[in-house]
Amino acid sequence: MKAATARACANIALVKYWGKLDTELNLPATGSLSLTLGALTTTTAVRFNELLAEDTLVLDGRPAPAERLTTWLDLVRAHAHIDTRAEVTSVNDFPTASGLASSASAYAALAVAATAAAGLDMSAQQLSSLARRGSGSAARSLFGGFVEMGETHAEPVDSAADWDIRMLVAVVGGGAPKSVSSRDAMEHCRDTSPLYGAWLDCVPADLAAARNAIAARDLDALGAVMQHSALAMHAAALASRPPVRYWRAATLAVMDAVDAVDGAYYTMDAGPHVKVLTAASGARELVKRLRAIDGVTHVIESGIGGPAELVSAG
Ligand code: DP6
């Protein structure tokens, strides 16, 4: 088999991954726990082609730099004992220009497609470990529902098919200075923030609380621990020297709006956008409120997504 196409969903960490144990192997310093989002997907096609001198990448219809891709594909080539270069075409069904993180769904879809195209038969856990080498958060996008990242790979926690919850993604745009990538920011935070150690210390208890809240289908408990994890991560980043501050005025305006609503909880990653966890019943009304906030360019409503899957092969 020389070609394959796969699709994977994005995920949002409820208990964040923020810091590495090993940069070379991209091993996380702590566990993390996420929700896979059905509304944000990446579809990636990989074709190994003997005629190519270099790997090529086309991202949302445009040629893109392939260095990071080549480093990652070298892992697949080593496993498969091949030396063939590949053409990779990747399409996001959400605007990449919006600054929403896409590396999670991208490396998860790539892991499924590239290994299938290279003729490798790997378990979901092995694929998760391979995706981690591209991006830590991508290890979680191999699975659907709630997913927990361990030392090397992620495992599914609960598909939560019976739980009618939504994640609203409020995209904050306009006038934001160029933000620091999560990869660079977490290293800088470890090196310079006096709160980095305290942040790491929070994670085990937050993971346990999140697991319990999921098992009990307790949205308020899950929302509370999700907010705590995000605020602790951002507090550590804010205390770095120089500081890393992702929040814009509209980020805080969304946080204020969410605080005013019962049963809605926020989380933020390495950007100004706010993701809001809420019950499906109140989601539509909340989407309207968030859309009305100055600086919010659009709001995506997502249900729970499924595992990464092979779309076609051969
Ligand atoms: C804030 O997975 O982008 O979104 O492993 O260096 O590629 P690398 O980092 P990445 O970091 C994600 C950080 C986060 C929190 C999270 O998704 O857990």
Q: Ligand 1 center to residue 284 CA distance, Å? A: 29
Global pTM? 0.97
Q: What is the pLDDT of residues 203-216, one digit of tens each?
A: 999 999 999 999 99
Q: Ligand 1 center to residue 45 CA distance, Å? A: 23
Q: What percent of the chain has pLDDT over 90?
A: 93
Q: Output helix, strand, coil percentages for the chain, rounded to the nearest 5.
A: 40, 30, 30
- Residue range 96-119: mean pLDDT, rounded: 87
Residue 101 confidence (pLDDT) above 80? no
Q: What is the pLDDT of residues 61-73, one digit of tens each?
A: 999 999 999 999 9
At 177 the pLDDT is 53
At 91 the pLDDT is 95
At 83 the pLDDT is 97
Nearest CA to ligand 1 atom 7: 135
- The angle that helices 124-134 and 67-80 make with each other, rounded to 10 degrees, is 150
- Residue range 277-284: mean pLDDT, rounded: 97
Residue 96 confidence (pLDDT) above 90? no
Q: Ligand 1 center to residue 136 CA distance, Å? A: 6
Q: How many CB atoms lie within 10 A of CB 19?
A: 21
- Residue range 155-160: mean pLDDT, rounded: 98
Judging by DSSP bridges, how do beta strands 274-279 and 165-172 pair with one another? antiparallel
At 61 the pLDDT is 94
Residue 98 confidence (pLDDT) above 80? no
Rounded to whole angstroms, how far apart are CA atoms 109 and 290? 31
269 CB under 6 A from ligand 1? yes
Q: What percent of the chain has pLDDT over 70?
A: 96
Least confident of 13-22, 82-91, 175-184, 201-210: 175-184
At 239 the pLDDT is 98
Torsion angles phi and psi, residue 208, rounded to 5: -65, -45
Q: How many residues are recorded in the chain? A: 314
DSSP 81: T
The residue whose CB lies within 8 Å of the most ligand 1 atoms, and thus the one to mutate among 18, 34, 128, 137, is 137
- Residue range 107-127: mean pLDDT, rounded: 98
* 169 and 302 Cβ atoms separated by less than 8 Å: yes
CA–CA distances in Å: residue 69 to residues 73, 74, 86, 180, 191: 6, 9, 10, 20, 27
Residue 27 confidence (pLDDT) above 90? yes
Split at pLDDT 50, 70, 90, the class of 179 is confident
Rounded to whole angstroms, how far apart are CA atoms 174 and 153? 36
- The mean of the pLDDT values for the chain is 95
Q: Ligand 1 center to residue 36 CA distance, Å? A: 14
At 87 the pLDDT is 98
270 CB under 6 A from ligand 1? yes
State both tokens at 188.
């800088």
